[in-house]
């Protein structure tokens, strides 16, 4: 086993994003949706760092990754607050209960 | 100084829009006053811009990336149109205070009006095509929202949606044009394009030229898209004045004028522009002649006069076209606002139910007559000078038969104008209406416009300098002092036009004796009342768009899983293209 | 070798996070994933991000999750998924494979640069826009949460402390 490190990280990133996407496709639980988004974004952060490392622009990559983390945290906060509200309003966390806007 | 003024002229109305929207309907009087204040502020800053015309990029907002910067240039054309938008817009807002008294949703109304004014100013002052597209779409959105302002009236909603869809066609044309310009010159900057257009291959340039012509025709309600403008008449009258005189429809003519130097050598383009203009002018004038709805008559006359402007650009006289736009904005705002006063007072738009309004509102009668005479092109009002300039340019540079059509349309214009004035203000009342009083705000908005309609042509010389070489290096507009203009206009062709107009007026005076002739033209009348079939074409476009949208509803499941799947599928498609393509 | 171990650890934790029925356990696995991601970023030469990821991703967000799940309650009735699972797996594998192929073809041999220049500050001088955006983002997020929680009568004010 003598894989190059970037390849290992790259596969990790892709699999992480894939797992997150799979969860987004399958789950019907709102809180799970937020968890899946978190997983995908963690993959994105790793990707930024890896790219920065490979091109030698690590500082730029770090500042970008920071922006992503901040945005992602806000998404988590607002998403969870929404989920809580929906649970209180409709009594369930099922995303199917959200399509009532459609005729 | 200039950058600050530009930012203020766009920013003040937009700030006002946000404030008015947040204020809502809680304090009606305050809402009126705040919007008047902001619109006047924008008008003042736009007028202050006038001495600062230059071709230099005044304001640059870097947005990073590959798309160039958002740039604003305060050149003559842009400043002139922004003054029109802001000043006439502010008069319409002042007028609204009386017209909209007691209406609901004032916050929404004024917010969109101010947003509209700011967007129009941005549209004409920007020199980045992407930004122009953005402002262009904002004006489309605002016009939709304002036409459908009475959103419980299905006719108003229908008119609004029609305006939105038809003008969106123009928006698509503009966007494609912008992308082509970017692809071939490497920048969205207009002046860069005007300087380097010869590097673009001929067929691409032709595509661009005709694409922009379609965009302009859709926006300015020209042939064959002319039917959305009359349907937009469901809007409150000040909005009609705003759309017709100050903002929306000027954008199309502006686009043609702005790009004229690049497109003038494209084969058949000038001819196409002239024919579009002449056809719009002719058809709309005939339709105006048979319509009985006061606002519709004015709407058709707008289409007709815009036809003159487009025709003027085709003949190569950007100056005459813009000068007519200047005159037209003044007298058309005057006409719409005084018509609004009449409608507000009487409560009907049908001219057959009016008659004798002049006795009740002598002041409105006189200002309306001033506007009508300017529209008809009678000396010495401003419409006369600008229309004669267009006709003269048409005689010199255009084919003779189109010139004859345009002179004939001038006669028709006089005919429908006098018919309209007569039906509304003279004779005996044809129904028992109640003439309500007219607020002082309406008078305050009407009087300056009437004065301007009388004297604005004196500014011709200044105007030609404003559009001159210093601010528009590619258009080659010669300075034209008004004495020279008078000398040029007071010549034989003008007498011919005057004779045609006089004949038209005589035709109206002796209409009783000409019954036979009028009956003979019944088929034309019938065709005109049915908009010569273009109503059907435009309705078909609207219907196809709407049914496509309805059919595509199925794709909107409203379920997150399927949406994510859609995203994933498009990602796969994109990656596959990349794998196969590169 | 250590990268392989961490990578496998990340993936196992992530899988457990999405496969576990109980939401609280999911959140815990997510926190562990986050910690391992932080470790990997540290090894790749980005200590700042590692610290932030650890404190925000593994700390703050997990706390938020625990609060939210406490309020909303466990909703563990298994729901049948709306998309057939083979379709989901297939399309994801397809997308991932294509992406991997593209990256490998574009980058050729993958090499890490030697990590020498680590101590320099993050380039804030060139990234005013990011900073501004983050401030706006945080502000709007706080406003959004306050607005959301203000309407709910049964909601305790726990989330506002964060």
Indicate yes or no: CB of B562 within 8 angstroms of CB of C82: yes
Residue of A nearest to B553 (CA): A102
* Count of residues making up chain C: 162
Indicate yes or no: CB of B561 within 8 angstroms of CB of C81: yes
User: According to the model, what pLDDT value does residue B283 have?
Assistant: 86
Digit-coded pLDDT (tens) for C15-52: 998 888 888 888 889 988 998 998 888 888 888 888 88
Q: Which residue has the higher pLDDT, C62 or B471?
A: C62
The minimum CA-CA distance between B173 and chain C, rounded to whole Å, is 33
- Tokens 């402007």, residue located: B309
User: According to the model, what pLDDT value does residue C162 have?
Assistant: 39
List the structure tokens of A17: 């994003």
Residue B350 backbone phi and psi in degrees, to 5:
-80, 120
List the structure tokens of A35: 């968890």
Indicate yes or no: CB of C81 within 8 angstroms of CB of B565: no
The CA distance from C162 to C157, in Å, is 10
Q: Is A86 on the interface with B (CB under 8 A)?
A: no
Q: How many pairs of residues across B and C have Cβ atoms under 8 Å apart?
A: 29
Tell me which chain C residues have a C-beta less than 8 angstroms from the C-beta of B575: 95, 98-99, 102
User: According to the model, what pLDDT value does residue C156 have?
Assistant: 45
The minimum CA-CA distance between B224 and chain C, rounded to whole Å, is 46
Please say if the pLDDT value at position C74 is more than 60.
Answer: yes
Please say if the pLDDT value at position C78 is more than 80.
Answer: no
Q: Is A24 on the interface with B (CB under 8 A)?
A: yes
Digit-coded pLDDT (tens) for A11-27: 899 999 999 999 988 88
The CA distance from B158 to B141, in Å, is 14
Indicate yes or no: CB of B558 within 8 angstroms of CB of A25: no
> Which B positions 40-79 lie with beta carbon below 8 A of chain C?
64
The matching CATH number, chosen from 1.10.287.3510, 3.50.50.60, 3.20.20.140, 3.10.20.30, for A5-90 is: 1.10.287.3510
Residue of B nearest to A21 (CA): B564
The CA distance from A92 to A85, in Å, is 10
> Which A positions 25-44 lie with beta carbon below 8 A of chain B?
25-28, 33
Please say if the pLDDT value at position A52 is more than 70.
Answer: yes
CB contact at 8 A, B228 and B243: no
The minimum CA-CA distance between B220 and chain A, rounded to whole Å, is 36
Indicate yes or no: CB of A81 within 8 angstroms of CB of C148: yes
Q: How many pairs of residues across A and B have Cβ atoms under 8 Å apart?
A: 27
- When pLDDT is cut at 50, 70 and 90, the band that residue C155 belongs to is very low
- When pLDDT is cut at 50, 70 and 90, the band that residue C12 belongs to is very high
- When pLDDT is cut at 50, 70 and 90, the band that residue C157 belongs to is very low
User: According to the model, what pLDDT value does residue A77 have?
Assistant: 87
For testing the chain C interface, which of B63, B575, B581 should be mutated: the one with the most C CBs within 10 Å? B575
- Tokens 């009594």, residue located: A91
Indicate yes or no: CB of C18 within 8 angstroms of CB of A3: no
The CA distance from B175 to B477, in Å, is 28
Q: How many CB atoms lie within 10 A of CB A24?
A: 26
Indicate yes or no: CB of C88 within 8 angstroms of CB of A22: yes
The minimum CA-CA distance between A4 and chain B, rounded to whole Å, is 24
Containing B568, the helix (H) or strand (E) segment is helix B560-581
- Tokens 């959301």, residue located: C148
Indicate yes or no: CB of B556 within 8 angstroms of CB of A102: yes
CB contact at 8 A, B2 and B55: no
Letter string b/e over residues B238-276, b meaning 16 or more CB atoms within 10 A of that residue's CB: bbbbbbbbbbbbbbbbbbbbbbbbbbbebeebbebbbbb
Mean pLDDT, consecutive 10-residue stretches, chain B (582 aa), reads 84 89 81 87 87 78 73 84 88 84 81 90 88 90 87 84 85 87 83 81 85 87 79 82 81 87 83 88 85 84 88 85 87 86 80 76 84 82 82 82 85 85 79 74 81 79 74 72 71 77 78 68 70 74 85 80 89 89 68
Instruction: Establish whether this prediction's ipTM goes over 0.85.
Output: yes
Q: Which of A18, A73, A88 sits opposite C61 (nearest CB)?
A: A73
List the structure tokens of B394: 């048409």
Q: Is A97 on the interface with C (CB under 8 A)?
A: no
> Which A positions 52-81 lie with beta carbon below 8 A of chain C?
52-56, 58-67, 69-71, 73-74, 76-78, 80-81
CA angle B485, B488, B493 (to 5 degrees): 130
Please say if the pLDDT value at position C131 is more than 70.
Answer: no
Containing B252, the helix (H) or strand (E) segment is helix B250-263
List the structure tokens of B454: 């009388």
Q: Indicate the domain borders of chain A.
A: 5-90
Q: Which residues of C touch B (CB under 8 A)?
A: 81-83, 87-88, 91-92, 94-95, 98-99, 101-102, 129
Q: Indicate the domain borders of chain B.
A: 2-529, 542-581
User: According to the model, what pLDDT value does residue C120 have?
Assistant: 47
Tell me which chain A residues have a C-beta less than 8 angstroms from the C-beta of C67: 80
- When pLDDT is cut at 50, 70 and 90, the band that residue A102 belongs to is low
CB contact at 8 A, A27 and A33: yes
List the structure tokens of B446: 């009407």
User: According to the model, what pLDDT value does residue B66 have?
Assistant: 67
Tell me which chain A residues have a C-beta less than 8 angstroms from the C-beta of C69: 31
> Which A positions 17-56 lie with beta carbon below 8 A of chain C?
17-23, 25-29, 31-32, 34-36, 38-39, 42, 45-46, 49-50, 52-56
Q: How many CB atoms lie within 10 A of CB B117?
A: 36
DSSP code, position C56: I
Residue of C nearest to B576 (CA): C98
Q: Which of A4, A70, A87 sits opposite C138 (nearest CB)?
A: A70
- Tokens 């947005």, residue located: B63
The CA distance from B61 to B119, in Å, is 17
Among B43, B184, B55, smallest CA distance to B127 is for B55
């Amino acid at each position: 086993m003598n894989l190059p490190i970037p390849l290992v990280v790259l596969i990790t990133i892709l699999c992480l994003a894939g797992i997150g996407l799979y969860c987004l496709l399958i789950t019907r639980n709102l809180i799970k949706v937020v968890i899946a988004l978190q997983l995908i974004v963690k993959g994105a952060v790793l990707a930024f760092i890896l790219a920065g490392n490979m091109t030698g622009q690590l500082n730029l990559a770090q500042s970008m990754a920071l922006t992503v983390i901040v945005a992602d945290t806000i998404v988590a906060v607002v998403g969870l607050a929404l989920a809580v509200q929906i649970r209180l309003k409709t009594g369930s966390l099922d995303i199917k209960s959200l399509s009532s806007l459609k005729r | 100084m200039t950058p600050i003024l530009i930012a203020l002229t766009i920013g003040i109305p937009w700030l006002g829009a946000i404030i008015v929207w947040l204020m809502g309907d809680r304090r009606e009087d305050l809402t009126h006053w705040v919007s008047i204040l902001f619109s006047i502020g924008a008008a003042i800053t736009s007028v202050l811009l006038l001495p600062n015309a230059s071709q230099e990029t005044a304001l640059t907002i870097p947005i990073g990336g590959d798309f160039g910067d958002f740039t604003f240039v305060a050149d003559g054309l842009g400043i002139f149109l922004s003054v029109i938008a802001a000043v006439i817009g502010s008069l319409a807002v002042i007028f609204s205070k009386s017209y909209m008294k007691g209406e609901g949703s004032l916050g929404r109304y004024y917010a969109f009006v101010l947003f509209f004014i700011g967007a129009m100013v941005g549209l004409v002052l920007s020199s980045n095509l992407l930004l122009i597209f953005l402002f262009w779409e904002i004006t489309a959105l605002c016009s939709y929202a304002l036409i459908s302002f009475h959103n419980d009236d299905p006719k108003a909603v229908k008119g609004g949606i029609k305006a939105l869809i038809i003008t969106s066609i123009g928006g698509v044309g503009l966007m494609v044009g912008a992308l082509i310009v970017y692809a071939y010159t490497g920048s969205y900057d207009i002046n860069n394009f005007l300087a380097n257009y010869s590097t673009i291959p001929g067929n691409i340039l032709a595509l661009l030229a005709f694409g922009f012509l379609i965009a302009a025709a859709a926006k300015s309600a020209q042939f064959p898209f002319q039917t959305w403008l009359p349907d937009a008449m469901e809007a409150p009258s000040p909005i009609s004045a705003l759309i017709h005189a100050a903002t929306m429809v000027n954008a199309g003519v502006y686009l043609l004028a702005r790009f004229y130097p690049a497109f003038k050598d494209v084969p058949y383009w000038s001819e196409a522009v002239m024919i579009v203009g002449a056809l719009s002018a002719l058809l709309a004038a005939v339709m105006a002649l048979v319509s009985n709805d006061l606002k519709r008559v004015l709407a058709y006359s707008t289409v007709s006069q815009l036809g003159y402007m487009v025709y003027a650009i085709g003949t190569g006289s950007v100056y005459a076209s813009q000068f007519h736009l200047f005159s037209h904005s003044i007298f058309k705002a005057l006409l719409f606002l005084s018509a609004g006063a009449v409608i507000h007072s009487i409560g009907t738009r049908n001219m057959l139910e009016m008659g004798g309004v002049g006795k009740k509102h002598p002041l409105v009668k006189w200002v309306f007559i001033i506007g009508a005479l300017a529209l008809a092109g009678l000396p010495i009002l401003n419409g006369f000078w600008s229309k004669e300039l267009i006709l003269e340019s048409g005689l010199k540079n255009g084919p003779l038969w189109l010139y004859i059509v345009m002179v004939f349309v001038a006669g028709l214009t006089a005919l429908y104008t006098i018919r309209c004035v007569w039906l509304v203000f003279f004779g005996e009342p044809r129904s028992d209406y109640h003439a309500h009083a007219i607020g002082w705000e309406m008078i305050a908005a009407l009087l300056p416009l009437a004065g301007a309609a009388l004297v604005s042509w004196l500014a011709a010389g200044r105007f030609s300098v404003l559009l001159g070489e210093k601010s528009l290096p590619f258009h080659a507009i010669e300075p034209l002092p008004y004495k020279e203009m008078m000398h040029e206009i007071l010549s034989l062709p003008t007498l011919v036009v005057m004779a045609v107009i006089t004949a038209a007026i005589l035709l109206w005076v002796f209409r009783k004796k000409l019954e036979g002739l009028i009956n003979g033209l019944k088929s034309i009348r019938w065709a005109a009342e049915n908009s010569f079939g273009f109503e059907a074409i435009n309705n078909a476009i609207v219907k196809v768009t709407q049914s496509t949208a309805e059919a595509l509803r199925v794709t909107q499941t409203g379920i997150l899983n399927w949406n994510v799947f859609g995203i994933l599928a498009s990602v796969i498609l994109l990656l596959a293209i990349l794998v196969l393509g590169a | 070798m250590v990268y392989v171990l961490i990578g496998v650890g990340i993936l196992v934790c992530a899988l457990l996070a999405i496969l576990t029925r109980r939401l609280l356990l999911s959140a815990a696995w997510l926190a562990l994933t986050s910690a391992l991601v932080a470790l990997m970023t540290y090894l790749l030469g980005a200590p700042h991000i590692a610290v932030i990821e650890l404190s925000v991703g593994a700390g703050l967000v997990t706390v938020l999750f625990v609060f939210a799940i406490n309020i909303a309650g466990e909703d563990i009735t298994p729901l049948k998924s709306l998309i057939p699972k083979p379709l989901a797996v297939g399309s994801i594998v397809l997308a991932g494979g294509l992406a991997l192929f593209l990256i490998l073809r574009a980058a050729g041999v993958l090499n890490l640069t030697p990590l020498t220049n680590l101590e320099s500050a993050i380039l804030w001088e060139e990234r005013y826009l990011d900073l501004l955006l983050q401030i706006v983002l945080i502000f709007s997020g706080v406003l959004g949460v306050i607005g959301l929680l203000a309407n709910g009568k049964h909601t305790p004010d726990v989330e506002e402390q964060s």
